[in-house]
C-alpha cells in the first residue's frame, strides 16, 4: 500500500495523470539542451530548473520538464519536487521495479544515454507505462549528473 501511495504521489508531482504526452524527440531535445547548459554553467542551470523556468519546464505542456539526479541517486534539482537531496534510487514503480536503480546502473559511463520504462498506478487502480530518458553529463563544477525527462508510453 505504501509503495502504491508513493507511486501516485510521485506521478502527481511529475504531472502525468492527465497531461499531454510529449514526443520522444521533445524529450531527448530537452535533455540534450539541459545537459549542454549544465556542462557550461551548472549552478545557473540548476537555479533555472529549481525556479521552473523555461526551457526546463514547458509552460504550455508542463509534463515536458527536465530534472537532474546525482550519480548516487538523489534529486539534485527538479522543477516540481522539493526539497532536493531526496533519494530516488530505491523508489519502486507499481510493479516493484526499482527503475531509477536501473538508470543509475546504465548511466555509469560519461555521455551514456537511454530510456528506462516503468509502470504507474492511477488512483482508480488502472496502470499505464512511462519512460525516462537520461543522459550523463559532467557539470561545469566537475561533478557527474544524470539529466532526465519523462513521458507516457504510447499504446
pLDDT recorded at residue 16: 46
Q: Which domain holds residue 59?
A: 2-152
Strand partners, 108: none
Query: pTM for the whole thing?
Result: 0.84
Q: Is the pLDDT of residue 12 over 60?
A: no
Number of domain units in the chain: 1
Percent of the chain with pLDDT over 90: 69
pLDDT recorded at residue 148: 96
pLDDT recorded at residue 83: 67
Q: Is the dihedral of CA 50, 51, 52, 54 positive or negative?
A: negative
Residue 13, CA distances (Å) to 39, 65, 74, 134, 143 in order: 27, 12, 16, 19, 26
pLDDT recorded at residue 31: 98
pLDDT recorded at residue 21: 78
What tens digit of pLDDT does each residue of 48-82 get? 999 999 999 999 998 999 999 999 999 999 998 87
Q: Is the pLDDT of residue 155 over 80?
A: no
What tens digit of pLDDT does each residue of 118-130 get? 999 999 999 999 9
What tens digit of pLDDT does each residue of 94-118 get? 999 999 999 999 988 777 999 999 9
CATH number at residue 35: 3.30.450
Q: Is the pLDDT of residue 6 over 50?
A: no
Residue 120: exposure state from Cβ atoms within 10 A (0-12, 13-18, ≥19): buried
Amino acid at each position: 500500500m505504501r509503495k502504491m501511495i508513493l507511486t501516485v504521489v510521485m506521478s502527481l508531482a511529475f504531472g502525468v495523470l492527465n497531461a499531454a504526452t510529449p514526443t520522444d524527440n521533445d524529450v531527448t531535445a530537452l535533455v540534450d539542451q539541459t545537459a549542454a547548459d549544465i556542462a557550461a554553467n551548472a549552478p545557473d542551470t540548476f537555479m533555472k530548473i529549481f525556479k521552473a523556468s523555461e526551457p526546463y519546464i514547458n509552460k504550455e505542456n508542463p509534463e515536458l520538464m527536465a530534472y537532474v539526479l546525482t550519480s548516487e541517486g538523489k534529486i539534485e534539482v527538479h522543477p516540481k519536487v522539493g526539497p532536493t537531496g531526496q533519494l530516488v534510487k530505491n523508489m519502486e514503480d507499481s510493479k516493484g521495479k526499482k527503475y531509477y536503480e536501473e538508470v543509475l546502473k546504465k548511466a555509469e559511463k560519461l555521455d551514456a544515454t537511454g530510456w528506462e520504462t516503468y509502470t504507474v498506478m492511477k488512483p482508480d487502480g488502472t496502470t499505464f507505462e512511462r519512460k525516462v530518458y537520461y543522459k550523463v553529463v559532467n557539470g561545469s563544477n566537475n561533478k557527474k549528473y544524470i539529466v532526465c525527462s519523462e513521458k507516457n508510453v504510447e499504446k
